[in-house]
Amino acid sequence: MAPHATDAQGQATGMIFTESAPRFTVQSPNVTYNDETVTSKYTYRTTDINVTDGKFVATPKETIYDFKTELKVGKVGLMLVGLGGNNGTTVTAGILANKRNLTWDTREGPRAANYYGSVAMSSTVKLGTDSKTGKDVNIPLQSLLPMVHPNDLVIGGWDISGMDLAAAADRAKVLEPSLKSLVRKDLAAIKPLPSIYYPDFIAANQSDRADNVLEGTKACNEHVERLRADIREFKSSNGLDKVIVLWTANTERYADIIPGINDTADNLLKAIADGHEEVSPSTVFAVACILENAPFINGSPQNTFVPGCIDLAEKHGAFLGGDDFKSGQTKMKSALVDFLINAGIKLTSIASYNHLGNNDGKNLSSQKQFRSKEISKSNVVDDMVAANSVLYKEGEHPDHTVVIKYMPAVGDNKRALDEYYAEIFLGGHQTISIFNVCEDSLLAAPLIIDLVVIAELMTRIQWRSNGEQDWKSFHSVLSVLSYMLKAPLTPPGTPVVNALAKQRSALINIMRACVGLEPENDMTLEHKLF
């Protein structure tokens, strides 16, 4: 793990690399380093297909891009919508525990703070092959490019419940009591800002938590301006270079897409000013973040990013990412379905049953909110099915059913039961049943960290086509975050990729391109041709 530079007051100012930390340089005429940036000239190789009378003609294609990555990370703030919920208290306590290198007693013995479950902090990537031994050289993913370290994040945010985070952690019942006691003082010092509360968008059973809300129950310009002021104040008072906002609050119902209301940026802004009933709280947060140029990530399944919201982000060059954390059951599903279909096995039905007892489960016991989750969980297999025309003819799709039940007794220990039924050779069948017990918030918290760390990195990368003079940022919709999300948001008109291996490969290979390295290559021809 790379150390971090600090100023005279001990505040983090950004990542530095020393000889003791994993580091590398790329020796290539296509890569240039200076104190502020690393610039690469990268040849992107794809294959164009021309289809004529059912015949395919494949033509290799090369496109040259320049990438420029700012090396200084700066000081980053994370504002959570739903700060006092299970995920908010868990990720805050986890960062505090890691920052202080805490250990605590459990029934199974002592445990130490870690970032297990974070692809950025706890996974490795193949850098290349050792020229002397022929063995793969693997480095931490976080070493590919400078990234904000989670320990350096400044955390704040909003919640409809006014509990301080120590009391909220007691209510959530996620953390070990011995760990909670070690961070209680720090958690008690954090109190959420008042949030917006539109009762029509979340379950009625959440009303007893809503004691920390701004006046008004429909969208309005006053709410947008108050949230913008909160972001500015948080940034200023903490001396931050940038703020990233992430929604980890209740699942909302889907908003209706209405022409003239939320279909364009101008119409959406007018709808907010008019207090239209189909503008959700999460969309109001997204608009406020866009106008403040603070990246906004949606960790719940509702359609926060209505067409007008994406249009507004594109016009302002602001970043969005979503939707819905891909943590336990759905991550398993996207990995297993990817494996089975790529193995030529025809899935014919997938039945997924969940029961959980946390507040997320309580909110999802309402049918409108459950429908948002059902959509995000069900669509996770679509692109993998569409990619195999041998197994699935046009319009054919596996039966896919998702059930979620609220069972308070199990708390945050969600039970997920899945049955995969498939057709195999000569009309035979295979059934795979999985019983997955997921500590829900302990899986979601590392995803929050990954989403923030990667989103922040993407704000420091620019690109241009070869020969162009002007640098551009990535598209406003950060589809590179899809590895962490159930229902990945993509730029309008581009395909959705939900296959887990493809998502991780895209993330890593974009980072490799920024330092002038070819995509990961596992052909190992150097060992096969002799």
Find all residues with CB under 8 Å of 345, minimum gap 6, and list them: 391, 422, 423, 424, 430
Question: Comparing C-alpha atoms, which of 161, 183, 203, 511 is closest to residue 370?
Answer: 203
Do residues 68 and 462 lie in contact, with contact meaning Cβ atoms separated by under 8 Å? yes
**66, 230, 323, 324: which is the annotated catalytic residue?**
324
Do residues 526 and 129 lie in contact, with contact meaning Cβ atoms separated by under 8 Å? yes
Do residues 245 and 79 lie in contact, with contact meaning Cβ atoms separated by under 8 Å? yes
Question: How far, CA to CA in Å, does 316 sit from each of 171, 181, 265, 290, 294?
Answer: 39, 44, 10, 7, 11
**346, 377, 414, 418: which is the annotated catalytic residue?**
414
The Cα 422–Cα 431 span in angstroms is 6
Residue 428, token pair as written in the block: 């035979």
Longest dimension (CA), the chain: 74
**Count of all residues that appear for the chain in the document:** 530
Residue 107, token pair as written in the block: 């029934």
Peptide bond into 323 cis (omega under 30): yes
Active site residue 373: yes
Question: Comparing C-alpha atoms, which of 71, 12, 10, 64 is closest to residue 36?
Answer: 71
Active site residue 414: yes
**333, 373, 412, 440: which is the annotated catalytic residue?**
373
Active site residue 412: no
Catalytic residues: 324, 373, 414, 486
